[in-house]
Copies of this chain bind each other. A is one copy, B any other.
Amino acid sequence: MAVMTYIDAINAALHEEMERDPNVFVIGEDVAKMGGAFKATKGLLEKFGNERVIDSPLAEGVIISSSIGAAMAGMRPVPEIQFVDFITPGIDAITQQAAKLRYRSAGTQTCPITVRVCYGGGVGGGLYHSQSNTSWFIHCPGLVVVAPSTPYDAKGLLKAAIRNDDPIMFFEHKKLYRSIKEEVPQEDYTVPLLKAAVRRKGTDLTAISYGYTLQLTLQAAEEVKKKHGAEIEVIDLRTLSPLDTDTFLESVAKTNRAVVVHEDNRTLGIGAEVAAVIAEQAFDCLDAPILRVTAPDVPLLPAAAELEHFCTVSVEKIVTAIERTLDH
């Protein structure tokens, strides 16, 4: 075991997987010589050479589509998209090619790729370095969408993703990269895909989140306990698509109240799906409206600190929503 940051955990997973399987390779802007914009791929070029660690041209479309092809031919590409804000040139390759290849060929042609994407706001990045955009991919069958919220999960889920046979969108939150540390095994392990985690046990309300706001949700739970004695169960979705609905439905069946938290825009953020599933499959268990704590429906995030702060989910906003739900 070693105390690791989230970015260390990602880096370790890449080193280990590239050692384990010679078919694994990395491609993206600045991933080789510079070791990645956030240093996620640090040391890979030195260890594995420039055939397996490729500084691509500035073209997200070809980063993804060449990965798809290489995967069809037996490789295990791990392309990196520097910021999800720049994933648009690669959206066709992801949603129309990777996501549908298995289906359109009835399973005879497949592309196991793990697209690592940096996302998320709250670091003053402005309108083009703060986006989430997970919804575009959650709404696309054929893709697995993963978004770890802890260093332990980051390593274990990335390894599981690379070994999985589906095209996977792997969302790494830039604010998590260096803000939290935890014990992470230096040995090989995986964390199962498609499974949510109960991060905090509770009986009075189920709070559902992922990524950076999961950390805020946990803090909010503690604060609500301090203020009101209520016990909030906190669920980390981990895989955003296909959703592990059982874990949160079971929790809501017990607590009878739910709040969903995410930093992306409100409309058709993942919170909409979670709320809709609860309203459909656990309606009779519910004692209160399902509130969503999210960014407003404006472009995310404006640069000036005052504006950014206004749009950003905070512990306080989560506490307020929990209180309102408990009071209902």
Among A256-274, those with CB < 8 Å from B are: 265, 267-273
Pick the contact of A275: B104, B138, B241, B280 (CB < 8 A). B280
| Interface residues in A, total, Cβ within 8 A | 49
Q: Which of A109-156 contact B (CB under 8 A)?
A: 127-128, 135-136, 138-142
User: B96 near A268 (CB under 8 angstroms)?
Assistant: no
Q: Which of B85, B100, B128, B283 contacts A290 (CB 8 A)?
A: B283
Q: How far is the CA of A284 from the CA of B288 in the complex (A)?
A: 8
- B141-A268 in contact (CB<8A): no
- A103-B88 contact given A265-B141, A280-B292, CB 8 Å threshold: no
Q: Which residue of B lies closest to A106 (CB)?
A: B302
For A61, give the chain B residue with the smallest CB separation: B89
Distance of A315 Cα from B292 Cα, bound (Å): 32
A299 at the interface (CB under 8 A from B): yes
Q: A91-B91, A291-B280 are in contact. Are A268 and B299 (CB under 8 A)?
A: no
Question: Which residues 73-101 of A have a CB within 8 angstroms of B?
Answer: 85, 88-89, 91-92, 95-96, 99-100
Partner of A289, one of B141, B280, B297: B280
Per assembly, the copies of the chain total 2
By a CB distance below 8 angstroms, the chain B residues around A279 are: 275-276, 278-279, 286, 289-290
**Cβ of A298 under 8 Å from chain B:** yes
The complex places the Cα of A268 from the Cα of B283 at a distance, in Å, of 19
B299–A138 touching, CB < 8 Å: no
A contacts, CB < 8 Å to B: 85, 88-89, 91-92, 95-96, 99-100, 103-104, 127-128, 135-136, 138-142, 241-243, 265, 267-273, 275-276, 278-281, 283-284, 286, 288-292, 297-299, 302
Given A279-B286, A280-B291, A281-B289; 6 other pairs, CB 8 A cutoff:
A141-B265, A141-B267, A141-B297, A141-B298, A242-B297, A272-B276
